[in-house]
Structure 1
Amino acid sequence: MFLVVLLSLFLNAFALNQEGLFLQRVKQTLADPTNALSDWDQRDPTPCDWLGVSCDSVTRRVHSLNLSHLQLAGPFPLFLCRLPSLRSISLANNSISSFLPLEISTCQNLTTLDLSLNLIAGPLPHSLPEIPTLRNLNLVMNNFSGEIPASFAQFQSLQFLGLAGNLLNGTIPSFLSNISTLRELDLAYNTFSPSFIPSQFGNLTNLEQLFLANCNLVGQIPSSLGWLTRLRNLDLSTNRLSGSIPSSISELKSIEQIEIYRNSLSGVLPLSMGNMTTLKRFDASTNELTGTIPTGLCGLQLESLNLFENRLEGTLPESITSSKYLHELKLYNNNLSGTLPSQLGENSPLKSLDLSYNQFSGEIPESLCAKGKLENILLINNSFSGKIPESIGKCHSMGRIRFKHNLFSGQVPDGIWGLPRVFLLELAENSFSGQISKMISTAHNLSVLSISNNQFSGSLPDEIGSLGALVEISASGNGFTGRIPESLVKLRQLVRVDLSGNKFEGRIPDGINGWVNLNELNLANNKLSGGIPSDIGSLPVLNYLDLSCNSFSGQIPIQLQNLKLNALNLSNNQLSGELPPFFAKEMYRDSFLGNPGLCGDFEDLCPKIGRSKHRRYAWILISIFILAGLVFVVGLIWFYMKYGSFKKNKRRVTISKWRSFHKIGFSKFEIVDRLYVENVIGSGASGKVYKVVLDNGDTVAVKKLNRGVKKDDSLSTDTERDEFEIEVEMLEKIRHKNIVRLWCCCNAGDSKLLVYEYMPNGSLGDVLHSSKGGLLDWPTRYKVALDAAEGLSYLHHDCAPPIVHRDVKSSNILLDAEFCAKVADFGVAKIVKRVGQGAEPMSVIAGSYGYIAPEYAYTLRVNEKSDIYSFGVVILELVTGKPPYDPEFGDKDVVKWVCATYDQNGTNQLIDPRMDLTYREEICRVLDIGLLCTNALPINRPSMRNVVKLLQEAVGRTS
């Protein structure tokens, strides 16, 4: 008996206590695909050593649970509320779904509840304020909907309330001002109805952080916000606020960051802002502010000042030079003038300076790169003059130099030509003189050399041929002499070569057939001679060729017929012989004028050889043709009268079928009359896309759909709707900066036209997977990813009901002139039920090979997770530079190839070698986001709103 009792005591000593049993019940309610909670199966006396579990050191009771970032899925585990000493719960960044039950209030001792970055839907539980000890409530980035409950005014101890990135509606309630203990309030990125900022928020005197970005705010900024003397961060960006900035803002004695960009604020910046001595970052860009920059604003603590895209005037205050921490100064697109302070950059680690599109004048200060940190200097379209300081040529941190369209003169310092990190050197449209230094051989990262319309002279140095990353060289309108360097043919990445308007002599170098990526070759207005190399005809993507106004001789190589040219000009040379048959067309007529020995059927070219042979038979045919001609003319006149009436009526019908979705400044006739074959810029199974230049100089893209466009069976309800109707239905109600804009459309029987804004840089796929990929540096690729993610997030979370695109791919992401990305092509998009209410079955698979989510192998049910998978593939394309399928992958797609390569070799072989590895850490973080999006299990993929947040955090952006 004694042994039995002893054994029983021994077993009880090692049995799992009640709290451990509760936690094991919690595990049973959650899906754990990575087996992260494997040690929760152990039979320890307490669970205190289990993953994520923390216990009180004395009582050994569980007081904290942190299971964040473990890919757990399932409903909120209410068994946690049975742990009597539990103070903190964090399930952040998982896939917790369903609703948050009212019984959450039984967790009576909680101080922290963090459920951010999950998939929880439904209303906010009105019972949450019944937890008397709750201090931190983080529900950011979920799918909560409805209004903020009135009971939230009753929180007793709450210090942090995070509701950002949900689907909350209604107006922003003033009763939140009753939570006097609040230190941080985050309501950003919700779908509120148009709301005023409650003036009562001025009563939250303990508030340190106030985030109301993208909340559909209207009206003025209330002066009562000046009462928040402890406030450190204020974010009211991306709203519709109007009126002036209240002078009371200067009463924010602790403020460090103010972000009010992308509003409609007007008036002047308050002079009293100079009293804000703690201010580090001020961003009021993209508003309608006028007046001058207050002298006192540029204080000692200032790190970042963004006032671009306003209407500011006056000069840049001298006080900016006393800012010891200033690293970012962006004032572009204003009306600022005067000279720059002579000591700008002397006392601060300036990294980025953008003063483009202003009226600044004078010389560049010597001190801009005094701290050796300057990476970007953009002074486009000003009136700067004088020489470039020698100190800029010693600034080895420099990545971009853009001085286009100024009044600079003199020689460019040798050091600038050879800066090792510069990838864009733009000196065009100035009065620079002298030669290109041989030091250019050390500019190993240089992608774009733009020096057109200056007074440069001498020969191009052979050292240019060592710049293996060079994509574009534009040197037109200068005085260069000598021969085109033979070394230039070594540059296999070249996309554009423009050496026109110089004094180059001799022949075109041999071996240009290595320019396999060349899109434009312009050697016009030089003194080049010899024959036109037949190798030009082997350049696979060349579409612009201008060799006019030189002294080329001999015959036109027949191989030029192999090119697919949009523009050809061989005029004003000394060419001879017959035209190649392909070019003997009226559309090429002007391309050959001014060549006395060149023969063809065009006027001003010599008579075609052998024409006399045909004339001997002409008298036999004349009599026949005269009679037939009379009959033909009579018939033609009759037909013309009838057809003219028919065409007029048909055209009137066509125009009458137009629908406009925006205020447009062009006539529909301009569209109908300009759909020429030569204007086609793309084509596919559904039709052709035309580039149309309007009378006012603007450009639009027109999609003309073929007859009988394939129907999407999945969209059939009572009547079938074709691709045209689907795309119109989607785009007529979408308004977002990252969704391509549909100006108008026409549906008149056979004429189905969609008129979009024109995107001059084409699609991401075309740019990324061609020779132009070198133009996409990492900051640009990151911006493209974030832009596209924001567009898709809008479709999934901000449209009511949500929209699933169903064909997300790099060729459906278009790039404007500034490489801002917009999602396009909604021909197979689908309106679906609200997130959390299930998916809808499709009768056919939509999407493109390589982008289709794996669950399509066993289900045709559509939800937003399929878009997220496809977007993840786009991220992998941006990081690797490779298409979804490539011979290098064998039988794998890019997702499987990345996973396999990552496991074996890390990231070394994954990052596109065309990118600067100084961004390696950021690139790797974004790569991880791409892998998260392409998880094989849909439930483990983040929502698109979470993807946006993750991308922002990947480079330290929180706005």
Structure 2
Amino acid sequence: MQQRILNPFFSLLLLLCTTSNISLGLSHSLYKDTQILLRIKSTQLQDKNNILKDWVPNTNNPCNWTGITCDARKISVVSINLSHFNLSGEFPCGFCYIHTLRKLSLGYNYLGKTINTHSFSICSHLRVLDLTENLFIGELPEFRSEFSQIRVLDLSFNNFSGEIPASFGRFPQLKSLRLVSNLFGGIVPSFLGNLSALRNLEIGYNPFKEGPLPWQLGNLSKLETLFISNANLVGSIPDSIGNLVSLKNIDLSSNYLSGEIPNSIFGLKYLEQIELFDNNLQGELPESLGNLTNLLRLDLGQNNLTGKLPHTIGSLSLISLRLNENLFYGEIPSSLALNPNLLHLALFANNFTGKLPQHLGLNSDLEDFDVSNNQLTGELPKHLCKRKRLQSILLFNNKFSGTLPSQFGDCHSLTVISIENNQLSGDVPSKFWNHPSFEILKMQHNMFSGSISNSISNAKGLSKLHLQGNNFSGMLPIGICELQRLMKFDVSKNLLTGEVPACITRLKKLEFLRLQENMFTGPIPSNLSFWHVLTELNLSYNQFSGTIPSQLSYLRDLTYLDLSMNSLTGNVPPELVNLGLSEFNVSGNKLYGEVPYVFRNPVFLSGLMGNPGLCSSVLKEFPPCSKQKPFSLIAVIIFAACFLLFMGFVLLFLKRKFLFFNGKSYERSYKTTTFQIVGFSEEDIVPFLTSENLIGSGSSGQVYKVDLNNGEFVAAKKLWGGTRKLETESVFKSEIEILGRIRHANIVKLLFSCSADDDLMVLVYEYMENGSLGDVLHVNKCEELREWSTRFNIAVGAAQGLAYLHHACVPPILHRDIKSNNILLDRDFLPRVADFGLAKTLQHEEGGIGDMSRIAGSYGYIAPEYGYTLKVTEKGDVYSFGVVLMELITGKRPNDPSLGDNMDIVKWVTETAFSSAEDQPIDLAHIIDPMLNLATCDYEEIESVLNVALLCTTPFPMNRPTMKRVVELLKELKLARHN
């Protein structure tokens, strides 16, 4: 009996002891995990934002820490998610010592360097590994056979290079593989077809070698997403693609695929999206396309597809249909108008004929509609905006006729209308003009008539207004002056009359103003102080009268000025010499007086003709300017003085020439070229290339300051000879070929060149009084650079010069050596881009990117992608310019010793800028140059420029803005300052 009583007691005691032992064991496990987490935080991660502040050693239970997830009973760590925490450091492989860890997410940070295969092997128990959007480099680590449990592997948006290892074809349970936007070479590997459990394969945007789409990928019967865009795929799409019976999304766009689209692809009944645009595909679309009843998006644009569209295309549940830039012909199927889901329709650049289905838009919520560049006829469908959601209408380059539907006047969702180059006619409905959401309105080259309604003043969002080549009449409405966002305005070749509203000069963002070939009268508006960014002004073939406003000289960005064929009188304002004009035309007016000296160049001759009152002592096409006859005694005195002065110059020249040749009789044979009108020759330059006049030395030669006889100065660069002759000859030719044919206010002017058989090569430029930006910023610490406004103006000017090279020159010119020492400053600290010895023209062959035999540029300014490839694009110049912006802000050199070991200005600025919390402004106190006058600094503007610099220096070239966009961003800041 006693035994029976004690048995339950001992049983309970045994249970309690067992539970206690288990509890003690679990506590010990979490304790070990805690120690691992703390050790990794302190040794392998840099948490500058202190996001992991709750990772502290005063608790043995990390389950409530930031980024940590434990299992349901909170007895083991199963997930670590530190994405978007701005962490830096190396790959924290030590986390994998937590053997219960199944998911490790470290995306969107600044982790970098290579990943060691040996240390990585301890992570074989992971099921999810996410390292997207970091800075890892080098080859991918090998995944050993122990990685049998991995389900999700995301290494996208890094700088991994080399080939994809064969071990990536041996993941038996892998469901998602993402390697997008790295630097992988080799061809797309066929062994990826062994991943039988794969549902998501994304390996696009990599510079693979040209190769086929592996037919083995057809083995992936569970695959739902296939993304291999921008991967240099060639050849045809294999028929085996039809074996992907679970496929929902396929994107093989922007490759070099050819042949026909295999019929097997139209049997994939679960397909929702097909993206095959920008290839070389051929053939017709089959009627079996209608079998894809789940298809929502179809983009086959930019191929060579032909034939008529199958009528069954109208039975699809399409949201987006894009078949642009092919060779389709015939009428657009009327069945498209019956689709209730259609939001985006792009059929531009084909050979479609006939009329548009008149019920388009009646049954669907159309947002974007583009059938431009076809041969369509008839009237515009009036129901396109029936649902009031249409945002853009692009119908240009067709043969549409009739009037503009009145219903368009009620479509206030419209932002873009581009209907130019058609045969549309009649008056434009008055309510059409006043859309507040309009941004772009292009109606040029039609037959519209009537007046431009003053209600256009309500379209305050307009940035581009093109109405040229119509029959608009009446006066230009004063409401135009309310369009403060207007950048491009063209009403040329119409029947407009009256005076141009003087208030038009208040349009501060205006870049192009074209009013030519109308019947405008009255004076040219003269209050031009608000036109800060105007680059083109064309008022030709009108009836303007009065004088040419001297205030035009305020328009520092103006490069094109045409005032020809009017009734203007007075002088050509001498102040216009301050402009960097590439086109100047005042012909066919009633101007008189002497031609200003800068326009005495034969380049401007045709633009001065037709003004009988103009005179010039240089241009023989004009009569010499009359001078008052002096008294004979005065004439004798002047003649005698001139003779003595001339003899003095002759003696001085002979003396200098004798000294230069050490008294020896020596004659060089010079080959000279003048690129501007100059008043000197090689004899005025070569003898003075002496050590007393030396002002600088660089990789290509030495620079001298030469005092001309007329009191002006030029800068002469004498290129190295001897053993470096071949290299400097290339520099010499590059400078002549490029600078000899371009003209821009922010690019240094090449005046003259000469060479001789004895290795002498000399280039003569306009003299820049303040030297290079690098010198005044880092050496001389010039007082003028204490003001931020001076530095900002330098940034804007240099950006304009670089944008001109990239976007206005044909073919585009890549500088390849943008740095602060190659940006020169005149007496007013206005910048000129200089030193074009490494510049190259960007020939658009085989993809539009040039291969260079070596990396060009200067250390600290070279874009990071040049470490992996020698392919050169304009984005390399953009990166270098971003470095210059950082120099202007910080006052530091690109590799300033004060930045610390293994730290350049880009890395230092980036880490400092992103050390602030997301909702906090950048702490500029640790970044800006202490030399700046802090009392007058515009901190908001500096931060904005810093953001532009960060955009320019982003590691991925595709994410950097163009120089044209950089100029726009900086000019927006400039305008904001003046507002």
TM-score in terms of structure 2 length: 0.67
User: Per-residue deviation at 1:473?
Assistant: 2.3
User: Per-residue deviation at 1:512?
Assistant: 3.9
User: Per-residue deviation at 1:293?
Assistant: 3.0
- Matches of 2:178 and 2:675, distance apart in 1: 53
Aligned to 2:626: 609
User: Per-residue deviation at 1:596?
Assistant: 4.5
Checking the alignment, whether the CA contact within 8 Å between 2:436 and 2:460 is kept in structure 1 is yes
Aligned to 1:737: none
Aligned to 1:295: 311
State yes or no: 1:851 paired with 2:897. no
Aligned to 1:484: 500
State yes or no: 1:944 paired with 2:944. no
Percent identity of paired positions between Structure 1 and Structure 2: 36
Distance 1:859 1:355, change over 3 A: farther
Aligned to 2:41: 27
Checking the alignment, whether the CA contact within 8 Å between 1:579 and 1:599 is kept in structure 2 is yes
Aligned to 2:98: 83
Checking the alignment, whether the CA contact within 8 Å between 2:332 and 2:352 is kept in structure 1 is yes
Aligned to 1:565: 581
Checking the alignment, whether the CA contact within 8 Å between 2:443 and 2:466 is kept in structure 1 is yes
SS of corresponding position for 1:851: helix
* Number of residue pairs the alignment of both structures matches: 776
Checking the alignment, whether the CA contact within 8 Å between 2:895 and 2:903 is kept in structure 1 is no
**Structure 2 residue corresponding to 1:352, chosen from 365, 368, 388:** 368
Q: Deviations over 1:200-240 (max 9, x none)?
A: 22121111011222222221100111121211111112222
- The amino acid across from 1:462 in the alignment is I
Checking the alignment, whether the CA contact within 8 Å between 1:141 and 1:945 is kept in structure 2 is no
Aligned ranges for residues 158-237 of structure 1 at < 5 Å? 158-237=174-253
Aligned to 2:449: 433
**Structure 2 residue corresponding to 1:525, chosen from 541, 545, 552:** 541
- The amino acid across from 1:317 in the alignment is P
- Matches of 2:133 and 2:449, distance apart in 1: 57
User: Per-residue deviation at 1:588?
Assistant: 4.3
Checking the alignment, whether the CA contact within 8 Å between 2:819 and 2:884 is kept in structure 1 is no
Distance 1:597 1:418, change over 3 A: same
Q: Deviations over 1:906-944 (max 9, x none)?
A: xxx9789xxxxxxxxxxxxxx98976998xxxxxxx743
State yes or no: 1:60 paired with 2:75. yes
Distance 1:355 1:512, change over 3 A: same
Aligned ranges for residues 640-789 of structure 1 at < 5 Å? 707-708=717-718, 769=796
User: Per-residue deviation at 1:772?
Assistant: 12
Checking the alignment, whether the CA contact within 8 Å between 2:117 and 2:142 is kept in structure 1 is no
Indicate the structure (1 or 2) with the bigger Cα radius of gyration.
Answer: 2
Distance 1:859 1:531, change over 3 A: closer
Aligned to 2:748: none
Checking the alignment, whether the CA contact within 8 Å between 1:423 and 1:446 is kept in structure 2 is yes
Q: Deviations over 1:778-816 (max 9, x none)?
A: xxxxx99xxxxxx99xx9xxxxxxx99988999899999
State yes or no: 1:72 paired with 2:87. yes
Q: Deviations over 1:532-565 (max 9, x none)?
A: 4443444434333333322334454454455443
State yes or no: 1:18 paired with 2:57. no
- Matches of 2:843 and 2:484, distance apart in 1: 25
- The amino acid across from 1:181 in the alignment is A
User: Per-residue deviation at 1:486?
Assistant: 2.7
- The amino acid across from 2:286 in the alignment is P
Aligned to 1:756: none
User: Per-residue deviation at 1:133?
Assistant: 2.5
Checking the alignment, whether the CA contact within 8 Å between 2:211 and 2:234 is kept in structure 1 is yes
Checking the alignment, whether the CA contact within 8 Å between 1:525 and 1:549 is kept in structure 2 is yes
- The amino acid across from 2:60 in the alignment is P
User: Per-residue deviation at 1:947?
Assistant: 5.6
Aligned to 1:635: none
Aligned to 2:259: 243
Distance 1:344 1:130, change over 3 A: same
Distance 1:88 1:946, change over 3 A: farther
**Structure 2 residue corresponding to 1:304, chosen from 281, 299, 320:** 320
Checking the alignment, whether the CA contact within 8 Å between 2:367 and 2:390 is kept in structure 1 is yes
**Structure 2 residue corresponding to 1:415, chosen from 425, 431, 446:** 431
Checking the alignment, whether the CA contact within 8 Å between 1:276 and 1:297 is kept in structure 2 is no
Q: Deviations over 1:233-279 (max 9, x none)?
A: 11112222111111111011111112222222222233322221212
State yes or no: 1:507 paired with 2:518. no
- Matches of 2:403 and 2:194, distance apart in 1: 61
Distance 1:276 1:217, change over 3 A: same
Aligned to 1:699: none
SS of corresponding position for 1:23: helix
Q: Deviations over 1:309-332 (max 9, x none)?
A: 333322322222233333322333
SS of corresponding position for 1:305: strand
Distance 1:87 1:561, change over 3 A: closer
User: Per-residue deviation at 1:184?
Assistant: 1.1
- Matches of 1:896 and 1:816, distance apart in 2: 44
Distance 1:869 1:347, change over 3 A: farther
- Matches of 1:393 and 1:229, distance apart in 2: 48
After superposing the two structures, state which structure 1 stretch, 179-188 or 262-271, moved more. Answer: 262-271
Aligned to 1:924: none
Q: Deviations over 1:28-52 (max 9, x none)?
A: 3312232332222232232111111
- Matches of 1:424 and 1:315, distance apart in 2: 29
- Matches of 2:500 and 2:115, distance apart in 1: 70
SS of corresponding position for 2:46: coil
State yes or no: 1:130 paired with 2:146. yes
Distance 1:542 1:183, change over 3 A: closer
- Matches of 2:179 and 2:267, distance apart in 1: 27
**Structure 1 residue corresponding to 2:61, chosen from 43, 46, 70:** 46
Q: Which runs of 5+ in 2 are unaligned?
A: 1-19, 640-668, 679-695, 701-714, 735-754, 764-791, 808-812, 824-830, 870-878, 915-923, 962-979
Q: Deviations over 1:555-597 (max 9, x none)?
A: 5445445544333333333344555566566554444444445
- RMSD over aligned CA atoms reads 5.6
- The amino acid across from 2:107 in the alignment is A
SS of corresponding position for 1:22: helix
Aligned to 1:36: 51
Checking the alignment, whether the CA contact within 8 Å between 1:73 and 1:97 is kept in structure 2 is no
- The amino acid across from 1:362 in the alignment is G
Checking the alignment, whether the CA contact within 8 Å between 2:300 and 2:322 is kept in structure 1 is yes
Aligned to 1:629: none
Checking the alignment, whether the CA contact within 8 Å between 1:544 and 1:566 is kept in structure 2 is yes
Distance 1:579 1:248, change over 3 A: same
Checking the alignment, whether the CA contact within 8 Å between 1:871 and 1:933 is kept in structure 2 is no
- Matches of 1:279 and 1:89, distance apart in 2: 35
SS of corresponding position for 1:130: coil
Distance 1:867 1:337, change over 3 A: farther
**Structure 1 residue corresponding to 2:413, chosen from 382, 385, 397:** 397
Checking the alignment, whether the CA contact within 8 Å between 2:910 and 2:950 is kept in structure 1 is no
Q: Deviations over 1:46-97 (max 9, x none)?
A: 2111111111222521121112222334444444333332221212233054
Distance 1:44 1:582, change over 3 A: closer
Distance 1:334 1:43, change over 3 A: same
Checking the alignment, whether the CA contact within 8 Å between 2:719 and 2:760 is kept in structure 1 is no
Q: Deviations over 1:410-442 (max 9, x none)?
A: 111222322212222222111111000010111
Checking the alignment, whether the CA contact within 8 Å between 1:456 and 1:479 is kept in structure 2 is yes
Distance 1:305 1:531, change over 3 A: same
Checking the alignment, whether the CA contact within 8 Å between 2:415 and 2:440 is kept in structure 1 is yes
